[in-house]
Structure 1
């Protein structure tokens, strides 16, 4: 009987080996009108279990075993485009896929949807279409960072600043990449808006934590922005006018290449002069991308961003702020299973603040080189990613002001990284990411080992769970002052051997359910801040440490629901979070901490050219430090007429909280033709008086609240040729 069983098993295995075919499909997915590569396209078979997503250049590779039939269908699905079915026959197929975008009228109502194949590990990950950002309510210009603040797990401080704080981490802990090169402070003066024009971006990817090992340098999350490569078929011109600025975008073919250029300038300084007011502030920014395709296997991308801010109160008092970054990307596909990517970039940030009594100048530049290789092992169902990176940081800060002289610095430090990652399918339902980074910062004698583990189990085609762990290190930071309302400048510094690197340990668990008209997911996270560096507020002389290494932790729960209906799309986001830092051994809440945050996003479908969206947020009040009063200092110059200075004294750090925050924003679009659209943004529809801060009156004995933005409607227009 045993011999018969063994014989049957051998026959079945032999039949599978003989008749199961190894199928390989690969290629590129592009926009049918512009030939722009599409990132994150869902590519899957009808079984719902086999699939992948396209990479940053629209390329994809998928291998599987097929014993059912000689022909089968592959589906290509992407938000904002018509789903395409392609019939495949044979064992190896190259597919050059063009997806047709929906009409401009329908594009006005695109909302946030899950556009990652459900069998991919999407732990702490979200992908967004720029069209969703452009069609959401905004303060003047559409803004990536303000839009991200409408999602769960992402906090904000106030209506003025667009800085975001992800899962209890300060804003400088977020790695921001544009075409794979780092951006430092990509905001305009006092952080009122982003320096990156949303219309120049083709895809937005956000990792809230546990991000891939081929990027390093931050202890929080990672935000990846990809610039448009331009229309390879026709010349196009876009022109946007809003309350804050005017944007001009140009794109078109350039021989065997394509280009995209975005130019933006504010005109607030001109408008205020028309009403006999003086507001001498202006900003200018631009984005450029030139993509060369010398052959099917090679691609060269030259891209960059430059932004400049200037505030000229008078000849003696002025502020300047600039951000510039340029990158060279070479991508080589020698075979369907092998891919090389080399990146060389230079990023530079500079800020200066000058008055009669104060002069500061802060700058950071980052010269980087990184190379990656990707290889697909079909028989192991594994993708290998390995590479190396080098960063050379130049950091300087100069000030002649007595209290700031201790921060003066002029140094250059280097960082070396080696990384390897295996993305593998352990069974039909279990997938894993196993990675390791060896990071060496030359100011420290010991390199850092930074492991990454991500696991996902697919219970069914609609339900999956995932978990992950990562250790992250950071060697640069900005000096933080919990009492600053609007910091005039951000001081970047390099860590030294006395404090050591900043270290975080990240742990996440998620469960998600996806139906044709409903997405639900729940995620629990814990971040242990093993070392976080703060300015020593008790510093008195050179014998004291200027910076202290403290600890902290953040943990919470995020729940998201997205419902897609015929007339509208609805998003509900709730976050429960708790973040505690320590200072001198005592715990405190950071100034951006909000215990509860609830967001509602509603996107209406287009009807006869009309569409719209609204966002309502309710959140706990943020902490602040109470000013208990003032004491007076007398400074004698001639021993006769002293100068009196009123200096505040404070209670325990962040021991009080502002009242709860809530606000409703609305956007209405009206498209008159395929080339012209008007839109109305209304900020704070019901004029809620959210407290910004408390300001002491002239008597220095009582304080009055200063409120955030009031009811504020603005009009804008969009032209396309």
Structure 2
């Protein structure tokens, strides 16, 4: 009932505002329309649209849509510009409301071109605090290492870390990887990475825009404590059949797109071939993954569009014959979106979506009967968003979202159940936000009301606020503050590196996660297309689920128990993080890229003890650059320096005796995360040679990870040897030394020097 009244009240406001706006005087009118690419028919995001010699101006949104309000009857010159396209200057006589569809034509960019037209419009219309947006052109120009990957590009931004070399998970401003809301065309993707960390799930050539909000995001997003990563698929080429294919030492990839009736489709796929390439050799490794990503749309009319997006991916490791290891995990998502422009000023989006993430792992001589874990999360989502353009300076957004969720976790050992949990909660939210621009300020208050059926206390209110102050046309102060709640999460393990994470819903045995964030920053736009941003932030985190191993080594016969609530598996922890981020970027020109420095602290409070999180890095420096030597050659470089990550040392060990004669060696841990691994640093390098052969664009690339072969340890284990077993346990060339009875520390390093070569062909 509360939901009904909220929707009714908000809708009445929207309708009344639309009515008031429609009653313009007979001498003032609106101009609206879409800006698209003449080559592909896809919408252009962020194009500048303005009337020459006037104060009327705006930028296009994600749909390529724009609107200019209350324009007096007169003759004007309408100008549309966007980097990489020819500027359009069109005389227009305004004596009524106007709807337009404008095509922009590509133009070749000179190597040293740095001009960015009308960028001041976007600066004053939108918030850039803690935010990075990358469009198609920028994504293609980002220097890539190994193979093009979205997450690895984002990890070179300030405030963004990874747990180790073998993970593409994003650790953002001290938050765990599960505290990021990751959306593909509005669909929640729960574990969007593959084993080994070289690839995330998304295929870069099929992406239209990436929008990362590292904190302080407004009320349209919720359910996570740290950040939002919104990935939008390309719509597909509605003009002609086109595509590309590439092959490297790691994987093969394809993309195809073409028109279909009043729309277009796009399909991209990728598969690794470790399992096939080295079959029958000493290098055989029975693992592969694949991704399949697609989008199709149809325009029902000039104001209505329906589209379908989907993603399917799977990792598969089966070493059952030799080691008894089997692991399969998969993401499957699909969504249907319906977009309607009810008028020039009122837009609605409707979405139904399904996302499922499955995990199966088995360990033992027969992996399906040994230590087995089976779990999944099944998410069915309905979402409805409304946008009301009140005027050139005022926008109102509101909407609802509901998720029907199903969690299942089943762990067993040789058929004996260790842990079983099944949950079917419903998570819902309603939100509104209001953006208003004045000569000196841009303000956007918002509120999100969350409901979670699995808890006794079901309603949670999250207020949000963003403020931008205009110092002048090129310098701005930013501020954001907000509260956030999270009702599902993975389990944090302070002792072991994470590979595959299972998700759990909050139940009455634990509290939902919550965070409060505050950010202050300054942004400065300088000559030669140089952008500088400096931000400080503080984040408080509450009620994080931290894994507790409750098996008793002194009584192994009772170590397996069947639990069915989260409290039997975890304890609650709190934490906080704060930091300073300095970021400088050059988007265009012969030399482009970014450089940044981050000072940050991330601490956890658990069982009344405070310590550094596993992912704390006090100092981080990144450089990512691309140099275009000529139209035929590109060179790229990425350098990263990080303070060593914390870990818990081993102070000693003791012998534990079990009757009649069994002995085990148990370690004595030191202070949790009280020491650090050596500092991490790595240099990656790549070169690309561009060819044009009979109309085909061909890129040959050679790239090297860890150019100077730095050994970067990210974890270690201990080898328990024996001074009487006839084996050189410590690897020093001497067999059965007395010190081989002592646990031997074995460091596990990240990537060694790793070269790769490949070719990409566009047709």
Give unmatched runs, 5+ long, in structure 1.
1-17
Aligned partner of 1:118 among 114, 123, 130: 123
CA distance in 2, matches of 1:191, 1:684: 14
* Partner residue, 1:614: 637
Secondary structure at 1:459 match in 2: strand
CA distance in 2, matches of 1:653, 1:439: 35
Conserved? CA contact 1:20–1:66, under 8 Å = no
Aligned partner of 1:503 among 503, 514, 521: 514
Aligned partner of 1:696 among 700, 718, 723: 718
Aligned partner of 2:381 among 368, 371, 376: 368
Secondary structure at 1:302 match in 2: strand
Give unmatched runs, 5+ long, in structure 2.
1-23, 365-369, 553-560, 722-739
Conserved? CA contact 2:465–2:480, under 8 Å = yes
Q: Following superposition of structure 1 onto structure 2, how do residues 458-477 of structure 1 map, counting pairs within 5 Å?
A: 458-477=470-489
String of CA shifts for 1:82-127, please: whole Å, max 9, x gaps. Answer: 454444441643232223335599799999x989811022211111
CA distance in 2, matches of 1:531, 1:206: 25
**1:49 positional shift:** 6.9
Aligned partner of 2:752 among 684, 702, 710: 710
String of CA shifts for 1:445-483, please: whole Å, max 9, x gaps. Answer: 240101111111112111111111111110000011122
Conserved? CA contact 1:453–1:469, under 8 Å = yes
* Partner residue, 2:469: 457
- Answer with 194-203 or 623-632: which moved more: 623-632
Aligned partner of 1:71 among 69, 76, 84: 76
Alpha-carbon spacing, 1:182–1:529, altered in 2? closer, same or farther (3 Å): same
Aligned partner of 1:519 among 527, 531, 550: 531
**1:195 positional shift:** 1.5
* Partner residue, 1:147: 153
CA distance in 2, matches of 1:277, 1:550: 43
Q: Following superposition of structure 1 onto structure 2, how do residues 263-662 of structure 1 map, counting pairs within 5 Å?
A: 263-273=269-279, 275-315=281-321, 316-356=324-364, 357-378=370-391, 381-401=393-413, 407-425=419-437, 427-444=438-455, 445-485=457-497, 487-517=498-528, 518-537=530-549, 545-563=568-586, 566-605=589-628, 607-633=630-656, 645-662=664-681
Conserved? CA contact 1:137–1:682, under 8 Å = no
Secondary structure at 2:500 match in 1: coil
Alpha-carbon spacing, 1:27–1:249, altered in 2? closer, same or farther (3 Å): same
**1:46 positional shift:** 5.9
Q: Following superposition of structure 1 onto structure 2, how do residues 161-180 of structure 1 map, counting pairs within 5 Å?
A: 161-180=167-186
String of CA shifts for 1:41-81, please: whole Å, max 9, x gaps. Answer: 344556797543322221122326669x7314434324x44
**1:520 positional shift:** 1.2
Alpha-carbon spacing, 1:629–1:129, altered in 2? closer, same or farther (3 Å): farther
CA distance in 1, matches of 2:121, 2:643: 32
**1:691 positional shift:** 2.0
String of CA shifts for 1:111-169, please: whole Å, max 9, x gaps. Answer: 9x989811022211111135544555545332111110111111122222111111110
Q: Following superposition of structure 1 onto structure 2, how do residues 209-248 of structure 1 map, counting pairs within 5 Å?
A: 209-248=215-254
Conserved? CA contact 2:632–2:689, under 8 Å = yes
Q: Root-mean-square deviation (CA), in Å? A: 3.0
Alpha-carbon spacing, 1:423–1:312, altered in 2? closer, same or farther (3 Å): same
- Answer with 528-537 or 284-293: which moved more: 528-537
String of CA shifts for 1:203-240, please: whole Å, max 9, x gaps. Answer: 11100012231222111100011111111011112101
CA distance in 1, matches of 2:647, 2:610: 14
CA distance in 1, matches of 2:136, 2:76: 36
Conserved? CA contact 1:108–1:131, under 8 Å = no
TM-score between both structures, scaled by the size of structure 1: 0.90
CA distance in 1, matches of 2:399, 2:587: 41
TM-score between both structures, scaled by the size of structure 2: 0.85
String of CA shifts for 1:399-446, please: whole Å, max 9, x gaps. Answer: 113999554211100011111111112x22211111111111012224
**1:372 positional shift:** 1.0
Secondary structure at 2:63 match in 1: coil
Conserved? CA contact 2:216–2:482, under 8 Å = yes
Q: Following superposition of structure 1 onto structure 2, how do residues 20-35 of structure 1 map, counting pairs within 5 Å?
A: 22=28, 24-35=30-41
Conserved? CA contact 2:145–2:684, under 8 Å = no
Aligned partner of 2:682 among 663, 672, 688: 663
Secondary structure at 1:608 match in 2: coil
